[in-house]
Amino acid sequence: MKDVPGAAGSLSGCHSLSQTVRRGPLRVWYRPDSPVPMTSADMLDCLESSGRPTRADVKLLKRYRRRSIFSMENNGLPVVIKAFPFERIKDAWRWRKYAPAELGNNLRAGSLGIPVPVCYGLFCVRRYGLVVNCGIVMEQLCNHTDLAQLSATNESQVFRAIPTLVTMYTTGVHHLDVNPSNFFIHNETGRTVIIDWQKCEFQAPRNDAQLVLQGAHFLNYSQVALAGALWTDWVGELHRQSACGLGLLELQNEIHRAQETTRRPGKSFQAGATLTRAA
């Protein structure tokens, strides 16, 4: 377990990636109780070529400059693979800030009670001494719908994010991109799962500055009109459920200010951040 890069100390019990397999330039760390056969030839082939998957049974979900997210079935089980192929050497040198960071943050947030996707494995592809690709294998959130889709047809759906934002506030988990597209709601049970944990911070619990930044970030990306009736009701419910140290008017003013100040108010902040309250 101590050989898992970037994740030592954060893995325990049945969630430990205590097994490993090598095949040429590919190395995989995986859970021994994984329902997905992580050592099958199909899985290893897919992981090794995950920078630019070409298999017919692979469905590309998203592709960015340093990320490739796709789904596939292995032994009848659907999984999502989030790969980080590197074209620049400086990114290859910092590879632990990508898949290992996502895995470690996912596990730590989960241990604090935040609902996260189950991760089955971590992999890296190393050639000529450099990691050219790394990634994680995780459960596919079947029978879930992201909150962005739900709120597009029913704007009141945005209230479903509040309990999770409150849990993040009370545990000090600062997700840097709490936009509606990263909240997945189970279609039957209503359970919420948060994805995209590569960049995350863990602060002291109940930091009011964190609550303000997370709330402002979510509202900026939720298409809720600033200071409108829905906005006012949403902030009021956030205040009620969080029981934060700010008065309702203070919380409204701080979130309003954060939304106007920057397009991405959910970005990193110092642990000692304080609020600039209106006089």
Distance CA(33)–CA(122), nearest Å, equals: 14
Quick check: 260 pLDDT over 50? yes
- The last residue of one of the domains, among 139, 174, 202, is 139
User: Average pLDDT over the chain, rounded to whole?
Assistant: 88
Residue 248 falls in which region: left (phi positive, over 0), alpha (psi -120 to 50) or beta: alpha
Written as six digits, the tokens of 126 are: 């190393």
In this structure, are 94 and 152 located in the same domain?
Answer: no
Q: How far is 243 from 198, CA to CA, in rounded Å?
A: 29
Identify whether 268 is part of a domain. Answer: no
Q: Is residue 271 part of a domain?
A: no
How does residue 13 score in pLDDT terms, banded at 50, 70 and 90? Answer: very low
Count of beta carbons in the 10 Å neighbourhood of residue 242: 22
CATH code of residue 117: 3.30.200
**Per-residue pLDDT tens over the stretch 90-109:** 999 999 999 999 999 999 99
Q: What is the DSSP string of the chain?
A: -TTSTTTTTS--GGG---EEEEETTEEEEE-TT-SS-TTSHHHHHHHHTTTS---TT-EEEEE-SS-EEEEEEETTEEEEEEEEE--SHHHHHTGGGTHHHHHHHHHHHHHTT---PPEEEEEEEEETTEEEEEEEEEE--TTEEEHHHHHHH-GGGGGGGHHHHHHHHHHTEEETT--GGGEEEETTT--EEE---SSEEE--SS-HHHHHHHHHHHHHTTTPPTTSHHHHHHHHHHHHHHT-SS-HHHHHHHHHHHHHH-S-TTS---TT-------
Instruction: Indicate the residue among 139, 162, 192 that finishes a domain.
Output: 139
- pLDDT tens for 59-76 read 888 877 778 899 988 888
- 119 contacts 110 by C-beta, under 8 angstroms: no
Domain harbouring 172, CATH code: 1.10.510
- Do 195 and 100 fall into the same domain? no
Please give the tally of structural domains in the chain: 2
Quick one: pLDDT at residue 177? 93
Residue 213 and residue 121 share a domain: no
In a shared domain, residues 168 and 214: yes
**Domain assignment of residue 214, given as a range:** 144-261
pTM recorded for the entire structure: 0.89
The domain boundary, picked from 121, 139, 157, lies at 139
- 130 and 61 in a common domain: yes
Residues 96 and 161 in one domain: no
Residue 117: CA atoms inside 13 Å, Cβ hemisphere, count? 27
Q: Which of 13-22, 67-76, 212-221, 263-272 has the highest mean pLDDT?
A: 212-221
pLDDT digits (tens, 9 = 90+) for 98-156: 999 999 999 999 999 999 999 999 999 999 999 999 999 999 999 999 999 999 999 99
Query: In angstroms, what CA-CA distances link 151 with 38, 43, 154, 229, 274?
Result: 36, 36, 5, 16, 32
| Domain assignment present for 267 | no
* Domain assignment present for 81: yes
Distance of CA 271 to the CA centre of its chain: 20
Per-residue model confidence (pLDDT) at position 58: 84
* Short-list 251, 259, 192, CA closest to 222: 259
User: Which pair of structure tokens corresponds to residue 52?
Assistant: 């630019």
Is residue 39 included in any domain, yes or no? yes
Evaluate whether residue 100 is within a structural domain. yes
> Are residues 125 and 167 both part of a single domain?
no
Residue 14 in this model has a pLDDT that exceeds 60: no
Would you say residue 247 has pLDDT above 70? yes
Q: What is the mean pLDDT of residues 182-197?
A: 96
